[in-house]
């Protein structure tokens, strides 16, 4: 014990904080982890504070000052490039959502403008996405038919977009962005792969020129629906589709091999649309089973604010659809924004991005747009085309507006099958792409990577995939969130607890499984708990500690060594404890006491010491038995073992076992 007084200070209990102060710190840590207002707070002048605040809310004020002609040139090029992708993709995805095709164009006009003002990413290209479109169709379609009641369906889609935007804004304002993190990357990978499969399967309808089709999205229903109608298949449609698909995939392949030729794959959809339309126009093949888009109304977005439905039976449907699709859209948009920000080494504030997404969807829902976010494919094209700022989104919006004002008649003859090919081409490899995005990898067998690294992540990924493909999109989503959360709970519920041994010639103690050369010390056992002590694991830990001691005593009895006298608990990795955890420690102390064993604590952290001293546990076991390091605890025990001889081993007797197997 004398050694201790010389060498080590006592384990300290941090000074108590007033409750409100500690609540404020905790909330700050949860909600304002990145301390976004640091600059504003440090500024003393009020006018400067306001200016910084405005810049914080509208990033355009930040970057517009440094904008120059070089940037503009780059942004115009990339803006026109993404517009050429946005127009055919927008029309296709609107079809996927069972909405009028023109909505895809509307949605590429207003939202990008809003994002350019409020968004903080320089590379994100705003637009609609396939999965959210399909999910909108699946969720709304369950209760309102898009064919029988198109007006109500359309209005509900606007309302769902409004709710999605509202939710996104609220999440951002309340700084609850971390809720999106509940979707683990593995879950997103599986979900996206499943969604891509489902979206592709849906395109078989267009590709085979079928007019009736199942409303379910699972692979079994879709295949059954297709093969039961094999007599209705239109070979003309299928052939045309395959040709375009081949063309699109070839351009993709070329662009992938030579990244400089990115514009080939970016332009391919528009080229397909033009050629497809010309083909139909000149050959009059619409009578041969090739369906066409038909008339698109000229003119930019009509207002739709009066169409929002807030009346009873449908408002909950719109709310549910809005929340689920909104979260999905957020998860994709923020992941995309973050990865490009990482490439170019700037920061993105997730909460600010949420507000930007939310505002763009709210304004979108007022102007005949449906759900938009930052899709990966379009943003990647934007990035490759050399965009510098969000001005590229403005350029795209202007290009789309010009199309809306003057060019819509040109789409009259566009065959639907071309749109299907565009969607399939966009989806094939989307799984790989989204995976690469999530893992920060390129060209890697993602699922195998997960399998090798972390089996549980692979399992999450697989269940999300199977849930989407064989169940519904919602089932896939719920499964992946559920399993991800379960994993966190399992971590907390079953913390690792292992025996430590001394690494020879040092004062270091480590896991004897990881360091087989580490040696244990006779007469004591050192247990390391690798996680917080909470209600969810306190009875497990109690049982497990008991079992370690039983096993150790059995071993000692066989080898006739010194009997066990001290149990050292290394709490350095125990981040927190709750009241159940404290009761557990008290219980363990009592049980050990009855078995004539002494509990010794090593290195409890700040939070732990606070609670242990408040609960008087420190007094119960004695302050002298709480040590700063394991080494110190061992030396104190060793000292006692060799001088005091506390109790003779004969006294170590247990109450006779009676009804305990």
Instruction: Find the binding residues for a second copy in span 342-371 (CB under 8 A).
Output: 342, 344-350
Judged by CB under 8 A, the stretch of 6-14, 89-97, 280-288, 421-429 that binds a second copy is: 6-14
- Give the list of residues 6+ apart from residue 655 with CB closer than 8 angstroms, or none: 594
- Identified binder of a second copy from the candidate list 449, 475, 522, 553, rule CB under 8 A: 449
- Contacting a second copy within 172-211 (CB under 8 A): 178, 181-186
- Identified binder of a second copy from the candidate list 155, 205, 234, 510, rule CB under 8 A: 510
- Give the list of residues 6+ apart from residue 456 with CB closer than 8 angstroms, or none: 487
Closer by beta carbon to a second copy, 219 or else 323: 323
Q: Using alpha carbons only, give the angle 654, 657, 659 rounded to the nearest 5 degrees.
A: 155
Does position 231 interact with a second copy (CB under 8 A)? The reply is no
Q: How far is the CB of 235 from a second copy (least distance, A)?
A: 45
Q: How far is the CB of 274 from a second copy (least distance, A)?
A: 36
- Cα–Cα distance, 117 to 495 (Å, whole number): 47
Give DSSP secondary structure letters for 177-238: GGGGGGS-HHHHHHHHHHHHHHHHHHHHHHHTT-S---S--SHHHHHHHHHHTGGG--HHHH
- Identified binder of a second copy from the candidate list 143, 530, 596, 638, rule CB under 8 A: 530
Q: Collapsing DSSP states into helix, strand and coil, what is residue 181?
A: helix
Does position 654 interact with a second copy (CB under 8 A)? The reply is yes
* Residues binding a second copy: number (CB under 8 A): 118
- Contacting a second copy within 248-307 (CB under 8 A): none
Q: How far is the CB of 40 from a second copy (least distance, A)?
A: 9
For the chain, give percent helix, strand, coil, nearest 5. 65, 5, 30
Closer by beta carbon to a second copy, 164 or else 450: 450
- Identified binder of a second copy from the candidate list 536, 549, 599, 600, rule CB under 8 A: 536
- Cα–Cα distance, 529 to 602 (Å, whole number): 11
- Contacting a second copy within 543-582 (CB under 8 A): 543-544, 546-547, 572-573, 575-576, 578-580, 582
Closer by beta carbon to a second copy, 312 or else 504: 504
Ordered strands of the 626-627 beta sheet: 509-511, 496-502, 524-530, 566-570, 598-602, 626-627
- Identified binder of a second copy from the candidate list 496, 555, 623, 645, rule CB under 8 A: 496
- Cα–Cα distance, 212 to 291 (Å, whole number): 13
- Identified binder of a second copy from the candidate list 8, 213, 233, 275, rule CB under 8 A: 8
What is the Rg, in whole angstroms, of the alpha carbon atoms belonging to the chain? 32
- Contacting a second copy within 47-106 (CB under 8 A): 52, 55-56, 59, 62-63, 66
Closer by beta carbon to a second copy, 425 or else 536: 536
Closer by beta carbon to a second copy, 202 or else 618: 618
Does position 220 interact with a second copy (CB under 8 A)? The reply is no
Burial (CB count <10 Å: 0-12, 13-18, 19+), residue 280: buried
The pair of three-digit structure tokens given for residue 307, joined into one six-digit string: 């169409």
Does position 484 interact with a second copy (CB under 8 A)? The reply is yes
- Contacting a second copy within 455-474 (CB under 8 A): 455-457
- Cα–Cα distance, 546 to 573 (Å, whole number): 20
CA nearest 400: which of 428, 378, 418? 378
- Cα–Cα distance, 85 to 449 (Å, whole number): 31
Burial (CB count <10 Å: 0-12, 13-18, 19+), residue 96: buried
The pair of three-digit structure tokens given for residue 70, joined into one six-digit string: 């070089």
Annotate each residue in 593-612 with x if it binds a second copy (CB under 8 A) or - if it does not, as one string.
Answer: -x----------xxx-x-x-
Q: Collapsing DSSP states into helix, strand and coil, what is residue 406?
A: helix
Does position 485 interact with a second copy (CB under 8 A)? The reply is yes
Does position 4 interact with a second copy (CB under 8 A)? The reply is no
The pair of three-digit structure tokens given for residue 232, joined into one six-digit string: 């209705």
- Identified binder of a second copy from the candidate list 73, 258, 555, 590, rule CB under 8 A: 590
Annotate each residue in 110-139 with x if it binds a second copy (CB under 8 A) or - if it does not, as one string.
Answer: ----------x-x-----------------
Does position 623 interact with a second copy (CB under 8 A)? The reply is no
Q: How far is the CB of 599 from a second copy (least distance, A)?
A: 16
- Identified binder of a second copy from the candidate list 306, 311, 559, 660, rule CB under 8 A: 660
- Check if the beta carbon of residue 424 is closer than 8 Å to that of residue 88: no
Closer by beta carbon to a second copy, 205 or else 352: 352
Residues forming a β-bridge with 566: 524, 598
- Check if the beta carbon of residue 280 is closer than 8 Å to that of residue 286: yes
- Check if the beta carbon of residue 596 is closer than 8 Å to that of residue 647: yes
Q: How far is the CB of 489 from a second copy (least distance, A)?
A: 6
- Identified binder of a second copy from the candidate list 445, 561, 587, 647, rule CB under 8 A: 587
Closer by beta carbon to a second copy, 91 or else 354: 354
Closer by beta carbon to a second copy, 294 or else 440: 440
CA nearest 121: which of 279, 308, 349? 349
Q: How far is the CB of 383 from a second copy (least distance, A)?
A: 15
Closer by beta carbon to a second copy, 34 or else 295: 34
Q: How far is the CB of 450 from a second copy (least distance, A)?
A: 6
- Identified binder of a second copy from the candidate list 3, 7, 170, 299, rule CB under 8 A: 7
Does position 537 interact with a second copy (CB under 8 A)? The reply is yes
Q: How far is the CB of 618 from a second copy (least distance, A)?
A: 13
- Contacting a second copy within 19-48 (CB under 8 A): 19, 23, 29-30, 33-36, 39
- Check if the beta carbon of residue 357 is closer than 8 Å to that of residue 329: yes
- Any idea which residue has 């899709």 for tokens? 375
Q: Collapsing DSSP states into helix, strand and coil, what is residue 567?
A: strand
Residues forming a β-bridge with 528: 498, 570
- Cα–Cα distance, 354 to 152 (Å, whole number): 28
- Cα–Cα distance, 644 to 566 (Å, whole number): 13
């Amino acid at each position: 014990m004398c050694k201790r007084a010389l060498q080590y200070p006592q384990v300290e209990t941090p000074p108590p904080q007033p409750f409100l102060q500690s609540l404020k710190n905790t909330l700050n840590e949860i909600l304002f982890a990145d301390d976004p207002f640091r600059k504003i707070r440090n500024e003393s002048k009020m006018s400067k504070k306001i200016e910084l605040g405005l810049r914080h809310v509208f990033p355009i004020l930040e970057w517009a000052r440094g904008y120059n002609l070089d940037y503009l040139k780059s942004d115009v090029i990339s803006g026109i490039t993404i517009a050429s992708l946005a127009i055919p993709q927008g029309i296709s995805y609107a079809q996927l959502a069972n909405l009028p095709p023109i909505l895809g164009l509307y949605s590429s006009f207003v939202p990008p403008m809003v994002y350019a003002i409020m968004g903080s990413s320089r590379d994100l290209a705003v637009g609609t996405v396939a999965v959210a479109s399909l999910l909108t169709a699946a969720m709304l379609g369950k209760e309102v038919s898009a064919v029988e009641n198109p007006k109500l369906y359309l209005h509900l889609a606007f309302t769902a977009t409004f709710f999605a935007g509202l939710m996104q804004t609220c999440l951002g304002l309340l700084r609850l962005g971390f809720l999106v993190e509940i979707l683990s990357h593995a879950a997103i990978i599986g979900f996206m792969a499943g969604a891509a499969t489902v979206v592709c399967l849906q395109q078989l309808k267009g590709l085979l020129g079928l007019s009736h089709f199942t409303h379910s999205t699972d692979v079994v229903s879709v295949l059954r629906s297709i093969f039961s109608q094999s007599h209705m298949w239109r070979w003309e449609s299928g052939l045309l589709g395959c040709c375009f698909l081949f063309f699109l995939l070839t351009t993709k392949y070329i662009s992938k091999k030579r990244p400089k030729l990115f514009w080939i794959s970016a332009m391919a959809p528009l080229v397909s649309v033009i050629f497809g339309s010309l083909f139909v126009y000149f050959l009059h093949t619409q009578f041969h089973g090739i369906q066409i888009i038909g008339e698109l109304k000229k003119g930019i977005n009509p207002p739709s604010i009066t169409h929002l439905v807030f009346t009873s039976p449908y408002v909950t449907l719109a709310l549910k659809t809005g929340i689920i699709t909104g979260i999905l859209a957020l998860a994709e948009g923020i992941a995309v924004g973050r990865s490009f920000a990482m490439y170019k080494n700037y920061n993105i504030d997730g909460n600010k991005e949420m507000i930007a997404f939310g505002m763009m969807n709210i304004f979108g829902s007022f102007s005949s747009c449906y759900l938009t976010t930052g899709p990966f494919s379009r943003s990647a094209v934007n990035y490759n085309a050399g965009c510098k700022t969000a001005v590229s989104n403005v350029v795209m919006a202007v290009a789309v507006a010009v199309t809306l004002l003057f060019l819509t008649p040109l789409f009259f003859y566009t065959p639907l099958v071309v749109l299907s090919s565009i969607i399939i081409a966009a989806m094939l490899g989307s799984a790989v792409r989204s995976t690469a995005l999530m893992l920060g990898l390129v060209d890697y067998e993602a699922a195998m990577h997960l399998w090798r690294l972390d089996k549980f992540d692979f399992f999450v990924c697989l269940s999300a995939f199977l849930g989407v493909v064989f169940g519904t999109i919602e089932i896939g989503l719920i499964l992946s969130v559920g399993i991800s959360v379960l994993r966190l709970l399992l971590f907390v519920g079953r913390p690792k607890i292992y025996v430590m041994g001394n690494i020879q010639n040092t004062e270091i103690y480590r896991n004897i499984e990881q360091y087989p050369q580490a040696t244990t010390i006779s007469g004591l056992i050192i247990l390391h708990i690798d996680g917080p002590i909470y209600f969810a694991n306190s009875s497990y830990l109690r049982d497990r500690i008991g079992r370690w001691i039983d096993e150790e005593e059995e071993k000692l009895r066989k080898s006739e060594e010194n009997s066990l006298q001290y149990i050292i608990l290394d709490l350095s990795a125990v981040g927190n404890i709750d009241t159940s955890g404290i009761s557990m420690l008290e219980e363990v102390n009592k049980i050990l006491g009855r078995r004539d064993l002494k509990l010794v604590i090593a290195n409890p952290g700040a939070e732990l010491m606070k609670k242990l001293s408040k609960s008087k546990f420190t007094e119960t076991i004695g302050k002298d038995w709480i040590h700063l390091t394991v080494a110190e605890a061992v030396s104190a025990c060793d000292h006692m073992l060799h001088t005091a001889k506390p109790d003779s081993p004969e006294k170590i007797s247990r109450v006779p076992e009676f009804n305990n197997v």
